A and B are shown apart, each in its own frame.
Chain A
Amino acid sequence: MTALTDVQDPEMPINIVDLGLVYGVRRDGPRVDVDLTFTAMGCPAYDLLLGDVRERLLQEPGVEEVRIRVVWDPPWTSSRLTQDGRDALQMWGLAV
Chain B
Amino acid sequence: MAIDLIEAPSEMSGDYLKELKHTLVVSGDTELISAPAYYLAAQRAPSINAFMTGIAIIQDELAHAHIAYHILEDLGEDQEKLIFSRDPKSFRYPYAFDVPLEDWTELIVANAFYDQAGFCLLGDIHEHCSYGPWKRGLNKVMLEENFHLRNGRNWMKKMSAAGGETKADLQRAVDWMFPLTVEWFGLPDDLKMHSKQLEYKLKGKTNDQLRQWWLSLVVPFCEENGVQVPAHKEGEDFVLDYPFPCTFDAEERRWDFKDPCTWDDVLVRWRARGPRNAEMVAMFQEEFHTFRKAHANS
Contact = CB atoms under 8 A, between A and B. Distances in A.
A10 B53 contact: no
B55 A48 contact: no
A13 B147 CA distance: 12
A46 B154 CA distance: 13
A32 to B, nearest CB: 21
A29 interface: no
Nearest to B57: A44
Interface in A34-93: 42-48, 51, 92-93
A45 B57 CA distance: 10
Nearest to B145: A11
B55 A93 contact: no
Interface string B11-52: 000000000000000000000000000000000000001101
Contacts, number: 34
Contact of A46 (B53, B57, B147): B53
Nearest to A94: B140
Given A11-B143, A11-B144, A12-B143, A48 B150 contact: yes
Contacts of A13: 143
A5 to B, nearest CB: 18
Contacts of A45: 53, 147
Contacts of B162: none
Interface residues of A, number: 14
A46 B52 contact: yes
B46 to A, nearest CB: 11
A47 B104 CA distance: 15
A42 B57 CA distance: 13
Contacts of A48: 53, 147, 150-151, 154
B217 interface: no
B161 interface: no
Nearest to B148: A10
A12 to B, nearest CB: 7
A11 B49 CA distance: 17
